[in-house]
Chain A
Amino acid sequence: MLGMLLEGFGAVFTDPLSILMIIVGTSVGIVFGALPGLTTVAGLSMFLPITYAMSSGTGLSMLTAIYIGGMSGGLVSAILLNIPGTPSSIATCFDGSPMAKNGQAGRALGLAVFASLIGTAISLLFMVVLSPTLANLTIKFGPWEYFSVTVFALTLISSLTGKSIVKGLLSALFGMMFATVGLSPIDSAKRFTFGSLQLTSGFNLLAVLVGLYAISEVLSTAGSEQEKAQVREYKMRGLGFTLKDLKGQGINFVRSSLIGLGIGILPGIGGSTSNIIAYSVAKTSSKHPEKFGTGIPDGIIASEASNNASIGGAMIPLLTLGIPGDGATAILLGGFMLHGMQPGPLLFQSNGATVYQIFASMILSMIVMALVMYLGMRAIVKVLKVPANILLPLIVVLCAIGAYALNNRVFDMWGLILFGIIGLAMSKAGVPAPPFILGFILESAFETNLRRGLEYSNGNFQEVFTRPISAMFLVLAIVSLAATLYKQYKPKKATSEE
């Protein structure tokens, strides 16, 4: 394996075009990730046709570089604009933005880039070394296992609810309601379409995320009489942070990276979910959960390490099973096929050299990403550092392009307004938005696997408890819920005793 990897590095370093495309791809990815409304998926789909003119190794290296850059670039706007550049950096806003607000934007950026680097490194290590073993485990997953994983993820909502657990759960159910619009899974029955053909395909995740975060942010800024640009000032000397910031964060780095890796491996659940889950796990297991959301390194590290770790995770089922782990790997799957390669168990045998070239280029892209972000942060921030009266309308135009490009229809753009208003109303009413997102994302997996599992077991729900993996996740779900309830009940009891 090591020999193959060295051969892969040899192929990359002896081809100047390949190195150039890795640098260009990573930089393009970072910019696409940093600009709200333009996501990694959009960047990948836009550059996919361009790679057609390149060799398979170079072209796919460029695409994976965009993937790594895009996953990391979202942290810039999440910290400096409080708008997640990509769905994968939603949780980075929770602590990154308050830290920047406290005048420590450079520290937040430095920590986030470092966490991204560590998360990517851990996941790529797993991808290269353990991919066949881990893929063998997920191939055994049936609907009950996926259902249990989804239930586990849904119970984590309770720790993201903020002050009121009821309002948080209502927010999650609100998100689930929107996810049920369109065709139902399994039997494709029309639900809540009100006779509209456009609603049959439901609401797109990108429209929901951009509307809820970007458009509502633009509207709220427009309504708050703020004149100056919302890009926060930053000063970054060296890496931006001190070794003191990393003290006691070892477990957080490893745990968040493993969460990202594990969630990335599961098809359909990618970085957009892993960052929220890793954040809530870090919060739940922290000795000082009340400090989360005020601008502490723990939250930034958890979110950024996990979302970047999902890169390697999502690549594992893609390469070994031909199953994309998230939207970005779905485009990458198209990239492989465009270059005449079929990802799956035979890929390592038929195109082993190219696969290891991609592995080598991903490792190189990870280093390039950190270098570009540390050395070129000034240039990246300049893109965002335009006055509010110019930046905000421009963001809307870019968001509109992103929404329109999904299906080349204006309907998805109306979704931006709808979810923009919803996001604004929720923020005014004190209803947290993250549970809404998680509810929206997980509803489909929850319903599909529950219904499929019941079909397989002739309506016998008890089967979910008889399968070891699904039973384990259900136990984890119960423990997670109990821990949150205990933590909420404990301070109340203490105060009442006082």
Chain B
Amino acid sequence: MNKANKKELGVGIFFALLSIFYIVQSRNVSTFTPFGNRGLDSQSIPAMIGWLSIALSAILIVTTILKDRKEKKGTGGQNEQICDPDQVACIDPPKGAKLQGILQVVPLKLMLSLLFLFFYFLFYQRIGFILSSIFYLLSQSFLLTEKGKRKKWALFIILFSIGVSVLIYFIFTRYFTLFLPRGILG
């Protein structure tokens, strides 16, 4: 199976599993029909969405498998290479190949960005808007700056992170009468 078909199959399986989970959970929804059931209750629409989703996932899975078979038949083995097992040599994958493969799918910068975002939201209320924003802006800006240019940008990023966080806080709380958490500075 080629990469594109594998992806389609993965999408189909994901949605099928999600739909099953959704249908199972929809059975736990309580229903109220004090005047008799004259139509639909609170379970009906989720059940309908779940079953429709299962049907569409099944269609996606089946059509992907059929498409793959058709493609295999279409090539008629033309691309198949005949190898002599005695001539084939086994080569070990280069060091760090596995890690490289993972990083290609989920780059390190993406993972770190998610982590920074997670900590930013986690401490938003606890340490307050100004401090959490300063830390977030500092870390995320440094991460996104090219390695070689970080020294050049350092002072600007530090001043920018502090200045913008304080400025935003005062503009939004003083002039836009918006509530932002003060945290430990309050």
In this assembly, does B100 line the interface, its C-beta being within 8 Å of a C-beta of chain A?
no
Q: Is A255 an interface residue (CB 8 A)?
A: no
What's the dominant secondary structure at chain A's contact region? helix
Residues from chain A with a CB closer than 8 A to the CB of B10 are 429
Name which of A241-249, A279-287, A344-352, A408-416 contacts chain B: A408-416
Given B18, B121, B143, which contacts A222 in the complex, CB threshold below 8 Å?
A: B143
* Known A166-B56, A174-B15, A410-B124; contact A417-B114, beta-carbon cutoff 8 A: yes
A225 within 8 A of B: yes
Asked if B29 and A189 make an inter-chain contact with CB atoms under 8 angstroms apart, the answer reads: yes
Whether, in the assembled complex, B20 has its beta carbon less than 8 Å from a beta carbon of chain A, the answer is: no
Which B56-95 residues have a C-beta within 8 angstroms of A? 56-57, 59-60, 63
Q: Mark A189-231, 1 if CB is under 8 A from B, else 0.
A: 1111000000000000000000000010011101111010000
Q: Does B98 contact A (CB under 8 A)?
A: no
A458 within 8 A of B: yes
Distance in angstroms from B61 CB to nearest chain A CB is: 10
Contact yes or no, A401 B107, CB < 8 A: no
Contact of A166 with B59 in the complex, beta carbons under 8 Å: yes
Chain A residue nearest in CB terms to B58: A166
A49 touches B (CB below 8 Å): yes
C-alpha spacing A46/B11, complex, angstroms: 42
**A233 at the B interface (CB under 8 A):** no
Tell me, in angstroms, the Cα distance from A416 to B109 when the chains sit together: 18
Complex: how many Å from CA A405 to CA B177?
11
Q: Which residues in chain A, 443-490, are within 8 Å of chain B measured between CB atoms?
A: 443, 446-447, 450-451, 453-455, 458-459
Given A166-B56, A180-B45, A429-B7, does the pair A405, B40 have CB atoms closer than 8 Å?
A: no
Say whether, besides A170-B56, A413-B124, A396 and B107 are in contact (CB < 8 Å). Answer: no
- Give the CA-CA distance A432 to B53 in the complex, in Å: 15
Instruction: Provide the residues of chain B in CB contact with A184, threshold 8 Å.
Output: 29, 42
Q: Does A167 contact B (CB under 8 A)?
A: yes
Interface residues on A, range: 35 or more
Given contacts A223-B113, A394-B137, A410-B121, contact A459 B60 (CB under 8 A): no
A421 at the interface (CB under 8 A from B): yes
Stretch of A18-26, A61-69, A121-129, A384-392 contacting B (4+ beta carbons < 8 Å): A384-392
Q: Kindly state the separation between the CA atoms of A219 and B10 in the bound complex, as whole angstroms.
A: 22
User: Once the chains are docked, how many angstroms separate the CA of A454 from the CA of B160?
Assistant: 58
**In contact, B121 and A417 (Cβ under 8 angstroms):** yes
Residues in A with CB closer than 8 Å to B107 are: 222-225
* A397 near B133: Cβ-Cβ < 8 Å: yes
Contacts of B40 in A (CB 8 A): 450-451, 454
Please report the C-alpha to C-alpha distance between residue A453 and residue B38 in the assembled complex, in whole angstroms: 10
A305 at the interface (CB under 8 A from B): no
Q: How far is the CA of A225 from the CA of B41 in the complex (A)?
A: 49
- B56: which A residues are within 8 A, CB to CB? 166, 169-170, 173
Q: How far is the CB of A424 from chain B (nearest CB, A)?
A: 8
CB distance from A484 to the nearest CB of B (A): 16
Which residues of A371-412 have CB atoms within 8 Å of chain B's CB atoms? 388-390, 392-394, 396-398, 400-401, 404-405, 408, 410
| A177 touches B (CB below 8 Å) | yes
Contacting residues of chain A (425-451) with chain B, CB-CB under 8 angstroms? 429-431, 443, 446-447, 450-451
- Minimum C-beta distance from A155 to chain B (A): 14
**Is B49 engaged at the interface, CB distance under 8 Å to the other chain?**
yes
B57–A454 contact, CB under 8 A? no
Which residues of chain A are within 8 angstroms of B25 by Cβ–Cβ distance? 192
> How far, in Å, is A178 (CB) from chain B's closest CB?
10
Question: In the complex, which residues 144-178 of chain B have their Cβ closer than 8 Å to any Cβ of chain A?
Answer: 144-146, 153, 157, 160, 164-165, 168, 172, 175-178
Scan residues 144-167 of chain A and give those whose CB is less than 8 A from a CB of chain B: 164, 166-167
Determine the distance from Cα of A58 to Cα of B179 in the docked complex, in whole angstroms.
26
Contact, CB under 8 Å: B109 / A222: yes
A288 CB to nearest chain B CB (Å): 26
Cβ-closest chain B residue relative to A448? B45
Contact B7 A180 (CB under 8 A): no
Query: Is A187 an interface position by the 8 A CB rule?
Result: yes
- State A47–B172 Cα separation when bound (angstroms): 11
A396 to B44, CA, bound (A): 38
The answer to whether B114 and A414 have CB atoms under 8 Å apart is no
**A389 CA to B178 CA, complexed, in Å:** 27
Residues of B within 8 A of A222 (CB): 107, 109-110, 113, 143-144
Q: Which residues of A contact B114 (CB under 8 A)?
A: 219, 417, 421
In the assembled complex, A309 has its CB within 8 A of some CB on chain B: no
Report B-chain residues with C-beta under 8 Å of the C-beta of A47.
Answer: 176
Interface residue B52 (Cβ < 8 Å from any Cβ of A): yes
| B7 partner residues in chain A, CB cutoff 8 A | 429-430
Asked if A176 CB lies within 8 Å of chain B CBs, one says: yes
| B117 sits at the interface (CB 8 A) | yes
A429 to B18, CA, bound (A): 15
Q: Once the chains bind, are B180 and A404 in contact (CB under 8 Å)?
A: yes
> Are the CB atoms of A177 and B121 closer together than 8 Å?
no
User: Do A459 and B29 have beta carbons less than 8 Å apart?
Assistant: no
Residue of A nearest to B40 (CB): A451
Interface-central residue, A167, A414, A416, by most chain B CB under 10 Å: A167
Q: Nearest-CB distance from A408 to chain B (Å)?
A: 5
19 contacts between A and B (CB under 8 A): A166-B60, A170-B11, A173-B49, A177-B49, A177-B53, A180-B46, A189-B42, A219-B110, A227-B145, A389-B157, A390-B141, A397-B137, A401-B129, A401-B178, A408-B179, A416-B121, A450-B40, A454-B39, A459-B39
- Chain A interfacial positions (CB closer than 8 Å to B): 46-47, 49-50, 164, 166-167, 169-170, 173-174, 176-177, 180, 184, 186-187, 189-192, 215, 218-220, 222-225, 227, 388-390, 392-394, 396-398, 400-401, 404-405, 408, 410, 413-414, 416-417, 420-421, 429-431, 443, 446-447, 450-451, 453-455, 458-459
Supply 16 further A-B pairs (C-beta < 8 A) apart from A166-B63, A173-B53, A184-B42: A166-B59, A170-B11, A180-B46, A191-B26, A219-B110, A223-B107, A390-B141, A390-B160, A393-B137, A400-B121, A401-B180, A421-B114, A429-B11, A446-B45, A455-B39, A459-B39
